[in-house]
Amino acid sequence: MAYSEKVLDHYENPRNVGAFGKDEAGVGTGMVGAPACGDVMKLQIKVNGQGVIEDAKFKTYGCGSAIASSSLVTEWVKGKSLDEALDIKNTAIAEELALPPVKIHCSILAEDAIKAAVADYRKHQEAKGE
C-alpha cells in the first residue's frame, strides 16, 4: 500500500511517544480500539490550571496510518482548550494525512481517543470537586 509522505513522516518519527504517570495531576487518559480489530490507541493529555492542554502523549498498536493519526493528534491538541480539542474532526485528520478510504477508521479512532481522554480528565476533576 502506498502511504502519503505525511503518514510516513509521522510513522518514521512519531511525535510525543510515551506516557504520563497514571496519578499525575491534570492527566486524562483515553484508550480506544481493540487488539482483535488491529488497532489500540492510548492518548493522554495534560491540562494546566487554565484548562489548556499543555502536553500530550500517545502509544498506538496499529498500522502506519493509525500511528500517524495518533501522533498528529498529540501535536494538534497541544495549546488547545478542552472544547477546542473536542472540535477536532476525523475528516480533518484524514485530510491532513491524505488517508485512503480503507484507512478512514484510523482517523475516527484518533477522534474517539481525544473524546475519551477529555472525558477521563473531566471525570477526575469532578471526582476531585466532590
Partner 1 sequence: MLKFPIYLDYSATTPIDPRVVEAMIPYLSEHFGNPASRSHAYGWEAEKAVELARADVAALVNADPKEIVWTSGATESDNLAIKGAAQFYQSKGKHIITLKTEHKAVLDTCRELERQGFEVTYLDVQEDGLLNLDAFRAALRDDTTVVSVMMVNNEVGVVQPIEEIGEICRERGIIFHVDAAQATGKVEIDLQKLKVDLMSFSAHKTYGPKGIGALYVRRKPRVRLIAQMHGGGHERGMRSGTLAAHQIVGMGVAFRLAREEMATENERIGLLRDKLMNGLTDIEATYVNGDIAKRVPHNLNISFAYVEGESLIMAIKEVAVSSGSACTSASLEPSYVLRALGRNDELAHSSIRFSIGRFTTEEEVDFTIDLLHRKISKLRELSPLWEMVQDGVDLNTVQWAAH
- Supply the residues annotated as catalytic: 37, 106
Under the binding rule (CB under 8 A), the answer on residue 72 touching partner 1 is no
Please, are residues 44 and 20 in contact by the beta-carbon 8 Å criterion? yes
37 burial (CB, 10 Å; 0-12 / 13-18 / 19+) is exposed
Could you count the other beta carbons within 10 Å of the beta carbon of residue 91? 12
Least distance in Å: CB of 1 to partner 1? 5
Stretch that binds partner 1, among 60-68, 77-85, 91-99, 120-128 (CB under 8 A): 60-68
Under the binding rule (CB under 8 A), the answer on residue 14 touching partner 1 is yes
Pick from 72, 85, 93, 109 the residue near partner 1 by CB under 8 A.
109
